[in-house]
Amino acid sequence: TPPSLRPRRVVLKLSGEVFGGGAVGVDPDVVQGVARQIATVIRRGIQVAIVVGGGNFFRGAELQRRGMDRNRADYMGMLGTVMNGLALQDFLEKEGIDTRVQTAITMAQVAEPYIPLRAIRHLEKGRAVIFGAGAGMPYFSTDTVTAQRALEIHADIVLMSKNGVDGVYSADPRVDPSAQKLETATFQEILQRGLRVADQAAFSLCEENKLPMLIFGAEGDDTIVRAVSGERIGTLITA
Ligand code: UDP
């Protein structure tokens, strides 16, 4: 049985682009749609933790190119992820799903600190858990954190939703029109071909620890439900 079928516990990565609906800030309509989908799969008994990106607010590397100190810019990026996490928490609670936000930078009035064993308990109780503030460290990305969190809470699979692309292609489809979408791939193939659909460090972590990853397109009303339910959309990557 392919590992994506009927997972028990998943970690879903939502990039900042998902939250902004393509713009800066948070688009409540878009977040509501995402929350509805997550609520649907939690009600079906699948445990869902979410890692939120922050690119709709700040990306440290971009601010660095425009003259900012990288470390400070990266902390701004991490704080942006927390705002996305709070927006998602709000809409999940409105769907009737108890939700906890845990952040890698402590901010007790806003969220719990990241405590992996407590996160697992929340999930076992049917709560959604949102991981914010990335790793709490500059020079990391939320893709890499997604793989790390998935390993630490013993998830069955990493689900990476992407904007503007519905899986991994044999080459960059925007550059090479003959590029073909891959149904399956190994982490080795992805790393060797230098396909940059997610961070190399995330692929390496998953490969070393034999954690499967599904990369799928965020566009559509039910793509998250389909991905979490083990439907074969996107590209399934295994060790
Ligand atoms: N970031 C960081 N450390 C982390 C995670 C994120 O420094 O562990 C910063 C980094 O500046 C990054 C920004 O937060 O550009 C937003 O995260 P990311 O780019 O991963 O978000 P996404 O592209 O998924 O929206």
- Distance from CA of residue 131 to its chain's centroid? 9
Give yes or no for a contact between 124 and 156, defined as CB atoms under 8 angstroms apart.
no
User: For 194, left (φ over 0), alpha (ψ -120 to 50), or beta?
Assistant: left
* 220, part of any domain: yes
* 1, part of any domain: no
Residues 111-170 have pLDDT tens digits of 999 999 999 999 999 999 999 999 999 999 999 999 999 999 999 999 999 988 899 999
Q: Is 226 annotated as a binding residue?
A: no
Task: Tell how far the Cα of 142 is from the centroid of ligand 1, in angstroms.
Answer: 5
Rg (CA), the chain: 17
Range of the domain at 39: 9-238
* 2, part of any domain: no
Q: Is 137 annotated as a binding residue?
A: yes
* 68, part of any domain: yes
State the pLDDT at residue 194: 87
For the purposes of burial, counting CB atoms within 10 Å of the CB of 157, is it exposed (0-12), middle (13-18) or buried (19 or more)? buried
Give yes or no for a contact between 190 and 237, defined as CB atoms under 8 angstroms apart.
yes
Q: Residue 161: CB within 6 Å of ligand 1?
A: no
* 65-92: burial string, b at 16+ Cβ within 10 Å, e else: eeeeeeeebbbbbbbbbbbbbbbbbebb
Strand runs labelled E in the chain: 9-14, 47-52, 99-103, 112-113, 128-132, 157-162, 184-186, 213-217, 235-238
The pTM of the full predicted model, rounded to 2 decimals, is: 0.96
Percent of the chain at pLDDT exceeding 70:
98
Task: Tell how far the Cα of 182 is from the centroid of ligand 1, in angstroms.
Answer: 27
Q: Residue 77: CB within 6 Å of ligand 1?
A: yes
Number of domains in the chain: 1
DSSP-assigned states of every residue in 22-59: TSSS--HHHHHHHHHHHHHHHHTT-EEEEEE--TTT--
Give dist(CA 1, CA 157) in Å, integer.
14
Judged by average pLDDT, the poorest of 32-36, 91-95, 123-127, 173-177 is: 173-177
Q: Residue 20: CB within 6 Å of ligand 1?
A: no
What is the interface pTM, i.e. ipTM, of the complex?
0.98
Q: Residue 103: CB within 6 Å of ligand 1?
A: no
For residue 100, the domain's CATH number is 3.40.1160.10
State the pLDDT at residue 1: 42
Q: CA 167, 24, 223: angle at the middle one, nearest 5?
A: 30
Q: What ligand 1 atom has the least distance to the C-alpha of 137?
A: 3
The stretch 195-200 carries a mean pLDDT of: 89
* 66, part of any domain: yes
Residues 223-237 have pLDDT tens digits of 999 999 888 899 999
Residues 84-125 have pLDDT tens digits of 999 999 999 999 999 999 999 999 999 999 999 999 999 999
Query: Mutation test of ligand 1: which of 11, 52, 142 has the most ligand atoms closer than 8 Å to its C-beta?
Result: 142
The stretch 186-211 carries a mean pLDDT of: 94
Give yes or no for a contact between 81 and 134, defined as CB atoms under 8 angstroms apart.
yes
* 142, part of any domain: yes
* 4, part of any domain: no
Question: 3-class DSSP state for residue 138?
Answer: coil
Give yes or no for a contact between 49 and 130, defined as CB atoms under 8 angstroms apart.
yes
Give dist(CA 3, CA 186) in Å, integer.
13
* 15, part of any domain: yes
Nearest CA to ligand 1 atom 3: 140
Q: Say which residue the tokens 């660095």 belong to.
A: 64
Task: Tell how far the Cα of 134 is from the centroid of ligand 1, in angstroms.
Answer: 7
Q: How far is CA 195 from CA 167, 172, 185, 187, 203, in A?
A: 11, 8, 11, 10, 10
Q: Is 136 annotated as a binding residue?
A: yes
Q: Residue 55: CB within 6 Å of ligand 1?
A: yes
| Pairing mode, strands 235-238 and 213-217 | antiparallel
